[in-house]
Amino acid sequence: MNKKEYTEKYRRQVAELFSSVCYVCDKKYGKRFHFHHVRYRDNELVYSDFNSNDNYQLYVLPIIQNRPLDFELLCNKHHYLVEILKQFKPERLDKLFCITRRSISWMPKLTGTWKELFAHLTSMITFSFS
């Protein structure tokens, strides 16, 4: 077993600590998944400190095994989103989520008559229980 095969096997084993699914969407563990480092401790190295992905994996996987609560397993799409979103200040992040929720098509807009709004909400409730 070469180094790359070893780290892949090791990653699969560590992913089981997270039920082998993305924290956000429950996608089953596979290629291009990330152990997102939620909380760093003092003097911990980061990905860019390493000259190869395998060397980083061999450094970080035992840390994840010891402190799984400081990490989350994410699919590539959700890891990418988290990396972007974490660049925003909390108050901007709140506004971004607020406007995103308001913009989602299944959310009733506060326009139209109360009867239309009631019909919309009723259909959502029926849908969610069926």
List interacting residues with Zn ion (CB under 5 A).
22, 24-25, 27, 75, 78
Identify the residue whose tokens are 């290629």. Answer: 31
For residue 106, list its beta bridge partners. Answer: none
Cβ count within 10 A of residue 60:
20
For Zn ion, the closer CB: 27 or 120: 27
Closest contact distance (angstroms) between CB of 26 and Zn ion is 7
Closer of 7 and 79 to Zn ion (Cβ): 79
Q: Which residues pair with 54 in a beta bridge?
A: none
CB of 108 to Zn ion, least distance (A): 27
Q: How far is the CB of 68 from Zn ion (least distance, A)?
A: 18
Residue 7 or 78 with smaller CB distance to Zn ion: 78
